[in-house]
Copies of this chain bind each other. A is one copy, B any other.
Amino acid sequence: MKTVNVDLGDRSYPIHIGANLIRRPELLAGFVPGKQVCVVTNETVQPLYLDSCVRSLQAAELEVISIILPDGEAYKNLETLNLIFDGLLNARFNRSCTLVALGGGVVGDMTGFAAASYQRGVHFIQLPTTLLSMVDSSVGGKTGVNHALGKNMIGAFYQPRAVIADIGVLSTLPSRELSAGVAEVIKYGLICDREFFEWLESNMERVMAGDVAALAYCVERSCADKSRVVAQDEREGGVRAILNLGHTFGHAIETAQGYGNWLHGEAVGVGMLMAVDLSCRMGLVPHSLLERTKFLVEKARLPHESPAGMTNESFISLMAVDKKVLNGQLRLVLLRSLGEAFVTSDVDPHLLNQTLDAFRSG
């Protein structure tokens, strides 16, 4: 088992990475301070891992309930969040209870926000079951739900007590979701870890074949990269924004398509290519970096053009509600070189349109 520590002062927590961790009662229960535990999962993960998880917690003599949410980004809203509160209140769970998120990013984000809000804050543990949630949403404490007018617009910064990333569970992950996770992995290489980017260029086949050691390394390295950035800027006042490389484009795709039709990682994959493309057009990075990124994105079996029918106008209008927008000005994350990202509002609309043209479908 490897451990990455997320260093946030009195809100620091460990990420444990290894195989079969979900079946280790002492590991899970060690992070539960009280007696009541509620495992929140979704209807897809439930038949696969809920029993193992509940049994591990019951073995530690805890009172365990579970709440099964419908699966998918389309349900990441206040209404579904209320199902968690219903379950907790019906079971009379008190403010010393612990919520465990057993699932992907949607389950993690909603359970985390429920933990932040239930009785104004209870304990929280993450058991991510997708590669995306292991490398992204497990680190940094962003929790929340979507609003019809924008993604992740309602939420809280709320840190878990621990993240337990059981690499074994990735064996049941649909290959489309594995690809979506790899998109964020490639992103870490681009924004802050050139060596990791180069490792991915040599090892992408192993990763895509589900090699446990290669996946564990991806999770460990990605979490270490992300936690280094988050430790500098917990509440996203500055440098943390570089983690959003490709996300402004990606969120526009997700909003345009309706949540859940494109996976978050798929949208980020294309968005990341767009950001690299724009960085090229602005003369910041060489064209070869765009080619290398495209090579990785294709090996990861990710889409590499915009959804059919999506116009430049719809992109630009949807990008205007991004959380990075400041005083009406669009801000984007771009690259200065491989491994070095920055945030800028100095974007030439002409070049932006060229980039959007270049990725238009068909």
A82 to chain B: closest residue by CB: B78
CB pair A120 B85 closer than 8 Å:
no
Complex Cα distance A81/B150, Å?
16
Assess the A321–B92 pair: CB atoms within 8 A: yes
Copy tally for this chain in the complex stands at: 2
Interchain CB contact under 8 A, A35 and B327: yes
Question: Among B89, B149, B326, B328, which residue has its beta carbon within 8 angstroms of that of A153?
Answer: B89
Residues of B within 8 A of A287 (CB): none
C-alpha gap A233/B336 in the complex (Å): 46
Q: Does the CB pair A85–B119 fall under 8 Å? A: no
**B residues near A94, Cβ cutoff 8 Å:** 323, 325-327
| A320 interfacial contact with B, CB 8 Å | yes
Within 8 A of B (CB), among A182-196: none
Asked if A96 CB lies within 8 Å of chain B CBs, one says yes
Among B90, B118, B156, point to the contact of A120 (Cβ < 8 A).
Answer: B156
Q: Which residue of B lies closest to A88 (CB)?
A: B153
Total interface residues on A, CB under 8 Å, equals 38
How long is the Cα–Cα vector from A239 to B236 in the complex, in angstroms?
33
Q: A157 an interface residue at 8 Å Cβ cutoff? A: yes
Q: Identify the 3 closest CB pairs spanning chains A and B, nearest first.
A: A89-B149, A120-B155, A117-B154
A-B contact pairs, 10 of them (CB 8 A): A78-B78, A78-B82, A86-B149, A92-B320, A94-B326, A96-B327, A117-B117, A117-B156, A118-B153, A119-B155
Q: Other than the known A82-B147, A85-B153, A89-B321, what 18 A-B pairs have Cβ atoms closer than 8 Å?
A: A35-B327, A85-B147, A86-B147, A86-B149, A89-B150, A89-B153, A92-B320, A92-B321, A95-B323, A96-B326, A96-B327, A116-B156, A117-B117, A118-B154, A119-B153, A120-B156, A120-B235, A121-B235
